[in-house]
Amino acid sequence: MNVRMRLCSLQTAAVAGLIFTAVGCGEAAEDPTSPKPRGSEEETDETEEPGSTTTPPKSSSTTPKDGGKPAAAADSGARPAVKADAGAEPGPTQPGDSSTWCAARAVLQERCQTCHGAEVAGAPMSLVTWDDTQANSVIDKTKKVSELIKLRVHDAKKPMPPVQQPKLTAEQLAALDAWSDAGYPNGTCSTPDVTEPKPGEEFAWPAECTPDKIFKVQAHQGGQPYNVPANWEDNVSITIPVPWVGKVQGNVHAVAIRPLRNNKRVVHHWILYAGTREFITSWSPGKEAEIFPADVGVYMPTSGSFQLNMHYYNMGNSSAEKDESGAEICITTKLRPKTATTNMFGPIALTVPPGKSEAVATCTQMGTEPVTLITSSPHMHKTGTGGKFEIVRADGKVEVMDDSPFNQEDQTVTPINYVLNRGDKVRTTCRYENPTSQTKRFGESTEDEMCFNFARYYPKGALSCGGLGF
């Protein structure tokens, strides 16, 4: 089964006093100083890329093909959604055609509530009920949320939904405009404001994951839950000692990892590294638990510490929040035949000019031992629209391992199964559509761009591809 998981690296844009969340990952583009016309491919060799010690950006791993699709991680201590302005008084039903609200609400349900639902995902307000839309904006309290919805859906530079998402259809825009033209009336709809989520498979640890083999790696501050200040957004790095040191002997593999999202009100996403560079796993809305194939174990450190990079978002909230998000990791000392780790393919020297463009990077496998690539996970920022991951065989034959749209709100990890031999090239392509008049360059900020594919492979250490492997 080809399991595709969401990986949303949430970023935030604020326009006209209303904050909407956009998820952040994008692709690279060609240098505008190049003589090539925009939209042609700019190919670079990763063996010549500088900065190989750059801390990797947000990435993900995956549920194996044969492991089924576990339900999303359990959420202890989930907080209720916070409205845009808790102090705003709900207004009376407005005059006009009340049926327009039901049509508008259907658009909000389909296109906005991934982040602005009853359970917000890093967003400052819900867009579920009519009262939500009549609250004052958290930044500009002179305007109602409904008024700013009208502005954002017609904003060419910073639209709602964000630029990397499919545009609203003409029918969807017409439904929102009709509601606006009628004076934003309330109405009685035939369906409830909040639809019940579809039941998912209940997560179950593999049989070997007994309680003494499951360890937690969680956000903390001085031994207490991390304090997230009011009206605050930032990325923080938390050092956590490897929890099984002194409790098990010898090397270990991870056989399953389950994300823990403790406070949904404030957690955008998190990334877990061994030390400061070796990517282990990550979480963002939609990311599910991972159970690895029976013959594959994921490398885990046996000393030192983890670094848990948390992106917190508590803007528009007048109260501080506490959080203990992180991961549960099931380990085994019965090492599996194959030790997997992650490599980061892609260029660093890139620019994304206005309009459509591509960036392409290749690296050549120089190791003598065959390498099996088992996941594809493209990573870009706001202007990324799609990514391709290919092998160019030594004889010139091209095999496409993954070619799919890129979506900041639904970043995916795709299981693959391709063997890379000496002399084969890995080609990473990123596609962009930059709606601004400004050229974007490589950087870790959501306003910059990146072009990477985080690919799991085994055996660990056998890949020598001239890229930014770790």
| Planar angle of CA 389, 383, 5, nearest 5 degrees | 50
DSSP 207-226: TT--GGGEEEEE--BTTBPE
The CATH class of 23-55+340-469 is mainly beta
Pull the structure tokens for residue 33: 């100083």
Tell me how far apart the alpha carbons of residues 320 and 412 are, in angstroms, rounded to a whole number.
Answer: 32
- pLDDT at residue 95 in the model: 47
Sign of the Cα torsion 458, 463, 465, 467 reads positive
Tell me how far apart the alpha carbons of residues 359 and 242 are, in angstroms, rounded to a whole number.
Answer: 38
Tell me how far apart the alpha carbons of residues 335 and 371 are, in angstroms, rounded to a whole number.
Answer: 19
Q: Residue 415, exposed/middle/buried by CB under 10 A (0-12, 13-18, 19+)?
A: buried
Using one digit for the tens of pLDDT, what is the confidence trace for 350-393?
999 999 999 999 999 998 999 999 989 888 887 889 999 999 99
Domain ranges of the chain: 23-55+340-469, 65-79+201-335, 80-200
Tell me how far apart the alpha carbons of residues 370 and 420 are, in angstroms, rounded to a whole number.
Answer: 6
Least Cα distance to 282 among 262, 309, 303 occurs for: 309
Per-residue pLDDT of the chain (470 residues; tens, 9 = 90+): 333 333 333 333 333 333 333 333 333 333 333 334 333 344 444 443 333 333 333 333 343 333 333 333 333 333 333 333 444 333 344 445 678 999 999 998 888 876 677 666 556 678 889 998 898 877 567 788 888 888 888 887 667 876 556 788 999 999 999 999 999 999 888 777 665 544 445 789 999 999 999 999 999 998 899 999 998 888 899 999 999 999 999 999 999 999 998 888 888 778 899 987 788 888 866 677 888 999 999 999 999 999 999 988 888 778 899 999 999 999 999 999 999 998 889 988 899 999 999 999 999 999 899 999 998 988 888 788 999 999 999 999 999 999 988 865 566 678 999 999 999 999 999 999 998 899 999 986 667 888 988 888 999 989 988 544 33
Tell me how far apart the alpha carbons of residues 445 and 381 are, in angstroms, rounded to a whole number.
Answer: 9
Percent of the chain with pLDDT over 90: 39
The DSSP bridge partners found for residue 375 are 415
One of 3.30.70, 2.60.120, 2.40.50, 2.60.40 is the CATH number of 65-79+201-335, namely 2.60.120
The CA-to-CA distance between both ends of the chain, in Å, stands at 28
Using one digit for the tens of pLDDT, what is the confidence trace for 39-95?
334 444 444 333 333 333 333 334 333 333 333 333 333 333 333 344 433 334 444
Same CATH topology for 23-55+340-469 and 65-79+201-335: the answer is: yes
Least Cα distance to 223 among 243, 242, 240 occurs for: 240
Least Cα distance to 455 among 406, 409, 401 occurs for: 401
Q: Which helix (H) or strand (E) holds 149?
A: helix 145-153
- pLDDT at residue 361 in the model: 92
Q: Are 297 and 256 in contact (CB under 8 A)?
A: no
- pLDDT at residue 457 in the model: 94
- pLDDT at residue 447 in the model: 74
Question: CA–CA distance from 167 to each of 37, 156, 163, 404 (Å)?
Answer: 26, 11, 8, 18
Tell me how far apart the alpha carbons of residues 64 and 295 are, in angstroms, rounded to a whole number.
Answer: 11
Q: Are 291 and 63 in contact (CB under 8 A)?
A: yes
Contacts for 133 with CB less than 8 Å, ≥ 6 apart: 108, 127, 144, 145, 146, 149, 184
Q: What is the phi/psi pair of residue 246, to 5°?
A: 85, -10
